[in-house]
Structure 1
Amino acid sequence: MEGANKDSDKKLKVIIVGGGLVGSLAACYFAKRGHTIHLYEAREDVRQSEQFRGRSINLAMSVRGRTALKEVGLEKVIVKHGIPMKGRMVHAVNGERRPILYDPNNKQVELEDPRNKQVELEDSSKKQVELEDPKSKQVELEDPSKKQVELEDPSKKQSIYSVSRKFLNELLLTAAEKDPNVHFHFHHKLVAADLDTGSTTFHRAGQSEAVSETADLVVGADGAFSTIRRQLMKRPGFDYSQRYIEHGYLELCIPPTEDGEFAMEQNYLHIWPRGTFMMIALPNQDRSWTVTLFMPFHKFDSLDTPEKLIEFFSECFPDAVALIGQEQLVRDFFATRPSSLVSVKCKPYHIGCTALIIGDAAHAMVPFYGQGMNAGFEDCRLLDELMERHNDDLSLVLPEFSQTRNEDAEAICDLAMYNYIEMRDLVNKRSFLWRKKLDELLFWLFPRQWVPLYTSVTFSNMSYTKCLSNKQWQDKMIERTGILKVTVLLLVLFVYLTVWMSSPDTRVTWRSPQVIEL
């Protein structure tokens, strides 16, 4: 990444507050442009920590996140490390499982016994030895100028990737550190800032004297409870709102089987929807599952004894009890309190040409669309594109980023809130399943004109605002046309095309439709 930008005459000094995922990726992008970066993080270096404290230990990476990593040469590394998930696996109370694929064109893939599909996975896991230690400085960056077939080949199945938060954070820090213009300052907590002048003051753990630093640009990537954002809130004209939902979350674990394999089909995001609450599970590299229970706080509080907990799980998640094990379920459940979930909206994201907030600091969202990290990574990519377009002129870059990104960020915050209702309740309703089938058929027939909402959000770089407006247009079209008419028409058309395509005289080669990245 060193010295990649030769167009700008002036090299900037940039202070990044926050060394998490978005902050460390932002450091990679600024370093790529040849600027000097000082990254300050209140906690210890995650690469030196045996235990990872913080939010969910694994994440769902989609196309937006991969695209951002591709620009700094890290997409291939994370794809090799991640576990592809090709759809949702819905668990009913009676133990039945039903797959809902992300890619509507792969209908031939049905339930698989994971024990019969381990050859490829075992081989790939043996190749993870080098990847599992991103703290070593041997991270090889791919050439971002080369096209990545995995991302752009429409014939490949659409998947999101389950990735380790700790691995990804370590990878990004190590990649940024390879550039001599990047300087890390861990155990430094921001205590004061004059964002008009780019002046900051930090308290270093174990020392009485404060550390002061001034830069051309201060970037707040310090999360949902951002200290930099609190400075912005003191200024007139700054709009801010936050919403805590009534549900909390608590993490559990499904261990590998006795023979060291996955206990469930590994290439799915597993969901146990139960109306007002739900549970999800994402696969890990060690063949365990990170299980997250989302539930109203009052329900968590009511499960105050091991007996009540086991009774509740046996009634609502009977298949999960056997997978987790009663002893581990009790131990994990009572080991910690459930965490809260907050959604944050604010604007503007900048002050003049000296300060900017990105990631959760600008637009924290509930996790139900899996877009928090992906949106934060997209912030970094879009900011870099503006830096390139305006030759690093911050007086032009920051206002444009703030103006164009805010509407998109608020759109995905709203979609994330809606998706919780879908995941915990609607996936069990016939009307939802009917609409999904209809969207799949229309997408198959008109791939450029009718892209389903989830597909456009997860498998394209289309703006979130455009994704939402497309969905609203689709809803109006179906409402105006009439559900019955649409259904009959499409069924007739589908039967006709099926018969026509099966004819031996047909000479047309059909291609799988692809998501058009707008």
Structure 2
Amino acid sequence: MHKAIIVGGGLAGSLTAIYLARRGYDVHVVEKRRDPLQNTVSALEMTNSRAIGVSMTVRGIKAVLRAGIAPQELELCGEPIVGMAFSVGGKYKIRELTPFEGLSPLSLNRLAFQKLLNKHAALHGVKYSFECRCLSVDLEKKSVLVQEDDGGFQHHRGDLIIGADGAHSAVRQSMQSGLRRFEFKQTFFRHGYKTLVLPNAAELGYRKDLLYFFGMDSKGLFAGRAATIPGGSISFAICLPYTGALSLATQDGDAMRAFFNHYFGGLPPTRRKEMLEQFMTLPSNDLVNVRSSTFHYRGNALLLGDAAHATAPFLGQGMNMALEDAYVFATLLDKHADDLDVVLPEFTRQRKVQADAMQDMSIANYEVLSNPSFIFFLRTQYARYMHKKFPSLYPPDMAEKLYFDSIPYDELQQIQQKQNAWYRLGRMN
């Protein structure tokens, strides 16, 4: 029996654990946070989890269902999405999206989904060590040194080390120091973000089946996203520069009050006040892009999810690609009869191409959203009209492909490039 040590018990780590345990692996997960199934999650952890308001696309849904999780269970963790609403001048322009395979994206309660994965992992015999901090990784001996919640130290050894420990991965750092010619690049976007939550989205006029986008009329000042999460609350991600008169560092309450009054003026004054109070007290989060030249070390260690390819959420694909990583890894184990010396290099070959394409598209989308113009809406309408009129010639709508399909990212990038070429030709004509 193979033994796998997974560093990081978040979404990608837990789904990978389920896939491996279903194959008969002895799986041990090391996680620095508390056990979400024991009702010991701190108030800060719970707020952050429900405030993220991540979107699970069809790509992520398929990866979860293929791990043996019933669709009815997954649906309890989110709200189905049928379209997008863009706020411009206080009014919303709505884009309806059409399902291809009977599956709709979900506006996800991250904490509820995490609990679902942990429940299924436990049912398959996965062992978790919570509140354990990974101190070092020995790639040659395939061992992990952790500090437990009582201050003691423990070595965990296995046949495979998997780094699913996020953008600041300890496993990747070991690969950086232990692998020749390992290239790593970390870049930060000029915006960071804060997450704010308001109760009773329906009462505020927000539809639970739409994703909301803000800042299209801010001339690049900010970008915002909102989605209803189970329980009826709505989660806002407010992206602003790190410094400046209106920024994440702003301490001027009057300036930020004017900001919320201007861009969220349709909300009641008490709700705008609540958003202001949360903004002034909650910490900010970085938007980081992580690229690694390889996702594996021999047949000993593997990176997946944000540890391999963290990206800003401007394409809505970070979590979804991480979940797909787990599924692709499982399919390669099937294909190569669990020969890790073959599986791990093949994983890098396949997923590196997809990660680069996804990150390039995310950066391009960030530039559009942070420097938008009215042309954005005209171009979107033009693209949808042209594909409907000439389906064999003009590429399909990118948003629908991203949310309702699991087409490889490099193929999506080619579609995007074709749209750009057709659009330039259309403007010239």
The reply to whether TM is greater than 0.5 is: yes
Counterpart selection for 1:73 from 56, 68, 73: 68
Q: Are the aligned partners of 1:57 and 1:166 in contact in 2 as well (CA < 8 Å)?
A: no
Q: Are the aligned partners of 2:240 and 2:248 in contact in 1 as well (CA < 8 Å)?
A: no
Q: Are the aligned partners of 2:136 and 2:145 in contact in 1 as well (CA < 8 Å)?
A: yes
Give the residue type in structure 1 aligned to 2:61: R
The CA distance in 2 between the partners of 1:217 and 1:319, in whole Å, is 53
Counterpart selection for 2:400 from 455, 470, 478: 455
Give the residue type in structure 2 aligned to 1:433: F
Q: Give yes or no for the alignment of 1:57 onto 2:49.
A: no
Give the residue type in structure 2 aligned to 1:100: R
The CA distance in 2 between the partners of 1:191 and 1:245, in whole Å, is 28
Q: Give yes or no for the alignment of 1:433 onto 2:423.
A: no
> CA 1:215–1:448 in structure 2 vs 1: closer, same or farther (change >3 Å)?
farther
Give the residue type in structure 1 aligned to 2:318: G
Residue 213 of structure 1: how far off its partner (Å): 1.9
Residue in 2 that maps onto 1:311: 258
Q: Are the aligned partners of 1:16 and 1:221 in contact in 2 as well (CA < 8 Å)?
A: yes
Counterpart selection for 2:35 from 38, 45, 57: 45
Q: Give identity over the alignment, percent.
A: 28
> CA 1:371–1:442 in structure 2 vs 1: closer, same or farther (change >3 Å)?
same
Residue in 1 that maps onto 2:350: 404
> CA 1:171–1:151 in structure 2 vs 1: closer, same or farther (change >3 Å)?
farther
Pick which of 310-319 and 409-418 moved more: 310-319
Residue 311 of structure 1: how far off its partner (Å): 1.8
Counterpart selection for 2:239 from 253, 278, 294: 294
The CA distance in 1 between the partners of 2:369 and 2:411, in whole Å, is 22
The CA distance in 1 between the partners of 2:227 and 2:144, in whole Å, is 39
Residue in 1 that maps onto 2:172: 229
Residue 302 of structure 1: how far off its partner (Å): 6.4
Task: Report SS of the residue matched to 1:173.
Answer: helix
Task: Report SS of the residue matched to 1:206.
Answer: coil
Residue in 1 that maps onto 2:147: 203
Task: Report SS of the residue matched to 1:31.
Answer: helix
Counterpart selection for 2:205 from 263, 285, 290: 263
The CA distance in 1 between the partners of 2:100 and 2:175, in whole Å, is 38
Q: Deviations over 1:56-98 (max 9, x none)?
A: 43210101100101101223322243112222212223x2221
Q: Deviations over 1:22-63 (max 9, x none)?
A: 000000110111111011111211223343525643210101
Residue 438 of structure 1: how far off its partner (Å): 2.5
Task: Report SS of the residue matched to 1:77.
Answer: helix
Task: Report SS of the residue matched to 1:400.
Answer: helix
Residue 484 of structure 1: how far off its partner (Å): 6.6
Residue 317 of structure 1: how far off its partner (Å): 3.0
The CA distance in 1 between the partners of 2:347 and 2:52, in whole Å, is 30
Q: Deviations over 1:90-127 (max 9, x none)?
A: 2223x222112233xxxxxxxxxxxxxxxxxxxxxxxx
Residue in 2 that maps onto 1:90: 86
> CA 1:438–1:407 in structure 2 vs 1: closer, same or farther (change >3 Å)?
same
> CA 1:356–1:286 in structure 2 vs 1: closer, same or farther (change >3 Å)?
same
| 1:272-291 alignment, distance < 5 Å | 272-273=214-215, 274-276=218-220, 277-291=222-236
The CA distance in 2 between the partners of 1:443 and 1:460, in whole Å, is 17
> CA 1:478–1:270 in structure 2 vs 1: closer, same or farther (change >3 Å)?
closer
Residue 13 of structure 1: how far off its partner (Å): 0.7
Q: Are the aligned partners of 1:85 and 1:266 in contact in 2 as well (CA < 8 Å)?
A: yes
Pick which of 396-405 and 282-291 moved more: 282-291
Q: Are the aligned partners of 2:193 and 2:248 in contact in 1 as well (CA < 8 Å)?
A: no
Task: Report SS of the residue matched to 2:155.
Answer: strand
Pick which of 458-467 and 393-402 moved more: 458-467
Q: Give yes or no for the alignment of 1:394 onto 2:340.
A: yes
Counterpart selection for 1:381 from 321, 327, 342: 327
Residue in 2 that maps onto 1:345: 291
Q: Are the aligned partners of 1:269 and 1:280 in contact in 2 as well (CA < 8 Å)?
A: yes
Q: Give yes or no for the alignment of 1:101 onto 2:96.
A: yes
Q: Are the aligned partners of 1:279 and 1:292 in contact in 2 as well (CA < 8 Å)?
A: yes
Residue 473 of structure 1: how far off its partner (Å): 2.5
Q: Deviations over 1:477-513 (max 9, x none)?
A: 4445x4475xxxxxxxxxxxxxxxxxxxxxxxxxxxx
Q: Deviations over 1:414-442 (max 9, x none)?
A: 2112222333443x42x322322222123
Q: Give yes or no for the alignment of 1:251 onto 2:195.
A: yes
Residue 309 of structure 1: how far off its partner (Å): 1.9
The CA distance in 1 between the partners of 2:82 and 2:100, in whole Å, is 14
Give the residue type in structure 2 aligned to 1:228: V
> CA 1:356–1:302 in structure 2 vs 1: closer, same or farther (change >3 Å)?
closer
Task: Report SS of the residue matched to 1:152.
Answer: coil
Pick which of 396-405 and 84-93 moved more: 84-93
Residue in 2 that maps onto 1:165: 110
The CA distance in 2 between the partners of 1:67 and 1:446, in whole Å, is 30
Counterpart selection for 1:215 from 155, 158, 162: 158
The CA distance in 1 between the partners of 2:4 and 2:169, in whole Å, is 18
| 1:13-52 alignment, distance < 5 Å | 13-48=3-38, 49-50=40-41, 51=43
Give the RMSD, CA atoms, in angstroms. 2.2
Residue 192 of structure 1: how far off its partner (Å): 1.8
Give the residue type in structure 1 aligned to 2:298: G
Q: Give yes or no for the alignment of 1:152 onto 2:96.
A: no
In structure 2, runs of 5+ residues without a counterpart are none
Pick which of 248-257 and 196-205 moved more: 248-257
Residue 19 of structure 1: how far off its partner (Å): 0.6
Q: Are the aligned partners of 2:52 and 2:237 in contact in 1 as well (CA < 8 Å)?
A: no
Residue 337 of structure 1: how far off its partner (Å): 2.8
The CA distance in 1 between the partners of 2:119 and 2:353, in whole Å, is 33
Residue 301 of structure 1: how far off its partner (Å): 5.3
- Quick check: which has more Rg, 1 or 2? 1
The CA distance in 1 between the partners of 2:35 and 2:111, in whole Å, is 11
The CA distance in 1 between the partners of 2:77 and 2:269, in whole Å, is 24
Pick which of 12-21 and 451-460 moved more: 451-460
Q: Give yes or no for the alignment of 1:468 onto 2:413.
A: yes
Q: Deviations over 1:391-419 (max 9, x none)?
A: 11111110010111111101111211222
The CA distance in 1 between the partners of 2:406 and 2:391, in whole Å, is 16
In structure 1, runs of 5+ residues without a counterpart are 1-10, 104-149, 486-518
